[in-house]
């Protein structure tokens, strides 16, 4: 799990000209943690065949479900077994849902993981600042780059021209960040 220092979070907010407040730092920290997990999953899915991954996850979920048949035996050795099985089942279902969602997004846009991360960071920026403008090296781009470096220093976001095209494709879509706030 990525650790984001308060100093780095404040620097990202300042880069995006977003007011510094404890609430904004907390909100940014939570969203970046979620985006870091999504980014790792996207990169893994991008590198492998998503259909194969989906099939293996479905098999894994079925196997986990079959553990309920022998849970009483496991329970005799460890009373936490039902919780563990439930958490594994939930994690497998979350991974399946994520892959199905990502597969649908890629089919529509064909964007690479870095572009998709930028789009997600744009949602966070809009949610925190209320600004939707796009410029070559404006606050949105500086904010996104600062956040990307907090997630993983090796991430290089696409150039502004590519991002502008991706934003235009998504212009009519509602902000994921705003939807999650409701």
pLDDT per residue as tens digits for the range 118-158: 888 888 998 998 887 776 678 888 899 999 999 988 888 87
Domain limits for position 43: 6-181
| Model confidence pLDDT, tens digit, residues 8-43 | 999 999 999 999 999 999 999 999 999 998 888 877
Match 């404040």 to its residue by tokens. 10
pTM of the model: 0.58
| Model confidence pLDDT, tens digit, residues 57-110 | 999 999 999 999 888 888 888 899 899 999 999 999 998 888 887 766 654 445
* HSE, side-chain direction, 13 A CA sphere, residue 75: 9
For 141-145, the CB contacts below 8 A with 24+ separation are 142/15, 142/16, 143/12, 143/13, 143/15, 143/16, 143/18, 144/118, 145/15
> Helices then strands (H, E): number in the chain?
9, 0
Q: Per the domain annotation, does 101 fall within a domain? A: yes
Q: How far apart are CA 179 and CA 161, in angstroms?
A: 27
Q: Per the domain annotation, does 1 fall within a domain? A: no
Q: Per the domain annotation, does 31 fall within a domain? A: yes
Structural domains of the chain, count = 1
């Amino acid at each position: 799990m990525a650790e984001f220092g308060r100093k780095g979070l404040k620097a990202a907010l300042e880069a995006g000209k977003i007011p510094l407040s404890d609430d904004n730092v907390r909100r940014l920290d939570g969203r970046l943690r979620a985006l870091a997990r999504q980014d790792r999953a996207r990169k893994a899915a991008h590198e492998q065949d998503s259909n194969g991954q989906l099939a293996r996850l479905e098999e894994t979920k079925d196997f986990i479900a079959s553990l309920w048949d022998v849970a009483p035996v496991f329970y005799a050795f460890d009373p936490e077994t039902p919780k563990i099985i439930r958490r594994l089942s939930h994690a497998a279902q979350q991974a399946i849902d994520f892959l199905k969602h990502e597969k649908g997004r890629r089919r529509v846009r064909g964007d690479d993981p870095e572009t998709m991360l930028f789009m997600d960071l744009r949602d966070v920026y809009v949610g925190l600042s209320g600004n939707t403008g796009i410029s070559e090296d404006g606050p949105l781009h500086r904010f996104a780059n600062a956040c990307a470096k907090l997630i993983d220093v090796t991430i290089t976001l696409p150039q502004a021209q590519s991002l502008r095209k991706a934003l235009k494709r998504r212009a009519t879509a509602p902000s994921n960040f705003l939807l999650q706030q409701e």
